[in-house]
Structure 1
Amino acid sequence: MAFHKVIGQEKAARMLKNALAHRRLAHAYLFSGPDRVGQRHMAMELAKALNCTKRKDDACDTCTHCVRIAHGNFPDVHWIQPEGHAVKIDQIRALQENVSYHSMEASVKVLIIEAADMMTVQAANSLLKFLEEPVGDVVAVLLTENKHHVLPTVLSRCQTIPFQRVPSEIISRQLTAEGVAEREAAVAAKLAGSLEEARQIVRGEWFRHALDVVVQVAKAVDGHIGQAMVVIQEKVVKSELGQHHLEYFLDLMILWYRDMLNISLGCEQPLTFLEHSEHFERQLTKWTEPRLVQAMEALMLAKRQLKQHVPSQLILEGWVLSVQEG
């Protein structure tokens, strides 16, 4: 059953499956929850289920429609992503124009708008006209991390389906069952919000490289600032890690300092970097609890800056300087 491939989101899957089975489908949904916990995957599964030629309450994953939707080449499933910092009115107008045409192959057209909270007011108002007067067999799915930033009039015309962060233990256990090494499964599960995302992480060569780079960067930061800047430049900024996976790198750095903080506080939490526990113990003389908290807060700021498209080199250098000043 395809909906239940989205591990950890059983409640959302059950709501959608019941709506399909009892023909009570809303014409607009808002999938709301933390980033990367399965909203995008669930939206694709809904699109498949709505257009499956073999089943009525779920996707079969074998018919032509299901396969093509999964591969992103089905003409009646439309995805909208932000252009730069926003979802713009021209994107919504183009979407509405596509909807006005006769369906090419689908029984139901599906419009999926990512980062719906980033719609401009003009775009949201344009979308509102469609939501107030739906045309034919069309279902809109809006994805958001923060539903409170969605225009209230748009929000009121959508059925909200909440998504929760999937416990890392569930993801780790499933990855291990699929043959992933325990340590890699545990780390990937902490980075990911969904099983599908964790699978993508462990498949990437950059992931194992990142685990080594985190250690090199953290130890360089312990020393001279000049050396730390060199390591950041050579190992992160100029590499695939810094160009395509920087958010994950920042998350790994947070896990490094969280390990140190847990040891300092005497917490019995499982360590992400267990093999470096002796190093952590030695560093606690100069890494006080307030300084560790400051380091993690600075990394959280770096993640926000990344989403604002601040250059990676400026983000990382700013973080190193803030830690040194701590």
Structure 2
Amino acid sequence: MSFQAIAGQDRVKRILQNSLRTDKVSHAYIFTGPSGTGRRGMAKAFAQAIYCKVLPDDACGECLDCRKVEHGNHPDLHWITPDGASIKIEQIRELQKQFAYRASASGIKMYVLEDADKMTVQAANSLLKFLEEPTSQVVAVLITDNGQALLPTIRSRSQWIPFTPMGRDAMAAELLKEGHSPVLVQMAVRLTAGIDAARDLIQGNGFAELRNLVIQLTKESLSRLPSALLTAQQKLAKGEFSEQLPAFLDMLILWLKDMVQLGIGNRESLIYSDQSDWMTQQAYLYPIQHWIACLEQAIETQKRLRFHANPQLALENILMRLKGV
């Protein structure tokens, strides 16, 4: 994977490629930013560029070292993920043991820690010693949603590389170019912070079906409320989508935002654009305050569910509010 294959994050690419060109690769980096912004892909591209025998500041993707990184079997690259809920001291000790051996022809050893903020205190202290006293030429990449959660001493010994969410329009354009459904793209770019996360959401199980369920339940609520309550119980409260209730509420909130927009006469940039004719008719049947109140209740329900409110009751209340009951 070359740097150019990663959408966005141009500033990150410039920093890393410049360090390769000037032979000033830091001994440790913190890749921090929201999930889905390309941190993992960037770490892999950086590793390939470091070991690539053809290009000075990128990966050719063809040489033996590039292929080894791509397939996860390069002897000098170690990739660590949490063991269960955390990265444990045993994992860091094993890494240190591996790094006691000499690197192969490249002379550089590299390790990537995913979810680095999930290190136990003991693991973090052990890593700190390793950062301070590497036994050979070592490059570390720590990937985290929240770099501030790392020990200050680790942060001070690493180069901070912030990953920023890609603009929605740019994400949408890229995903549409890849051939994804426009209505799913519009939804995904509003529910995620990066193109990788949006793509995963679109391709994940049940995303399109969950969107269809939002449309079904809102239609039923406004025309046949008892039917909506039964569907909600069968599919959401206890059925196949019970684990996806938070995602359903995210989508319902976007639907309600569309209704507020339609209520004030704005038909531009609708997320449920394929439903705009029917939604416009419904929007004018109620005063704008109705849709704002529904939106506020959906947001409040989302908060209450985090504190273990009764899902079925919460759903029924929202659907009845839609109807104005």
Answer whether TM exceeds 0.5 for this pair. yes
Asked whether the equivalents of residues 51 and 66 of structure 2 are also in contact (C-alpha less than 8 Å), the reply is: yes
Identity of aligned residues (%): 36
How is 1:237-276 mapped onto 2 (pairs within 5 angstroms)? 237=242, 242=243, 251-264=250-263, 270-276=269-275
Q: Is the 8 A contact 1:175 1:199 kept in 2?
A: yes
Aligned to 1:231: 235
Amino acid at match of 2:48: K
- Structure 1 stretch 245-254 or stretch 74-83: which is displaced more? 245-254
Q: Is the 8 A contact 1:27 1:139 kept in 2?
A: yes
2:296 is matched with: 293
What corresponds to 1:132 in structure 2? 132
Which amino acid counterpart does residue 130 of structure 1 have in structure 2? Answer: F
Deviations 1:132-181 (A, max 9, x none): 11221221111122222111111111100111100121121123233334
Q: Given that residues 36 and 198 in structure 2 are in contact (C-alpha distance below 8 angstroms), is that contact kept between their aligned partners in structure 1?
A: no
Query: Quick check: 1:109–1:139 contact (8 Å CA) kept in 2?
Result: yes
How many angstroms apart in 2 are the aligned matches of 1:42 and 1:85? 24
CA distance in 2, matches of 1:33, 1:253: 27
Tell me the TM-score normalized by structure 2. 0.80
**For the aligned residues, what is the CA RMSD?**
3.3
CA–CA distance in structure 2, aligned partners of residues 120 and 70 of structure 1: 29
Q: Which secondary structure state, in structure 1, belongs to the residue aligned with residue 214 of structure 2?
A: helix
**How many residue pairs align between the two structures?**
312
Q: How does 1:1-326 map to 2 (within 5 A)?
A: 2-103=2-103, 107-204=107-204, 206-218=206-218, 223=225, 225-232=229-236, 233-237=238-242, 242=243, 251-264=250-263, 270-277=269-276, 278-279=278-279, 281=283, 287-299=290-302, 317=312, 320=315, 323=318
Please state how far the C-alpha of 1:48 moved relative to its aligned partner: 0.8
C-alpha distance in 1, partners of 2:80/2:317?
Answer: 37
CA distance in 1, matches of 2:95, 2:310: 35
Letter in 2 for 1:231: K
**Is the Cα contact below 8 Å between 1:29 and 1:140 reproduced in 2?**
yes
CA distance in 2, matches of 1:89, 1:221: 53
Contact 1:88-1:122 within 8 A present in 2 as well = yes
Moved more, 149-158 or 184-193: 184-193
For residues 251-295 of structure 1, what are the alpha-carbon distances to aligned partners after superposition, in whole Å with 9 as ceiling and x for unaligned?
A: 434433332344456666611112334346168569542441341
Are residues 255 and 288 of structure 1, via their aligned partners in 2, closer, same or farther at CA, if it must alter by over 3 Å? closer
> CA separation in 2, counterparts of 1:315 and 1:79?
41
The 8 Å contact of residues 76 and 105 in structure 1, kept in 2 or not, is answered as no
Structure 2 distance, partners of 1:267, 1:82, is 47
Relative to structure 1, the CA distance from residue 276 to residue 79 in structure 2 (aligned partners, 3 Å threshold; closer, same or farther) is: same
Q: Which has the larger radius of gyration?
A: 2
Report which stretch shifted further, 316-325 or 186-195: 316-325
CA distance in 2, matches of 1:251, 1:73: 40
- For 1:95 and 1:283, the matched residues in 2 are separated by 64
**TM-score when scaled to structure 1?**
0.80
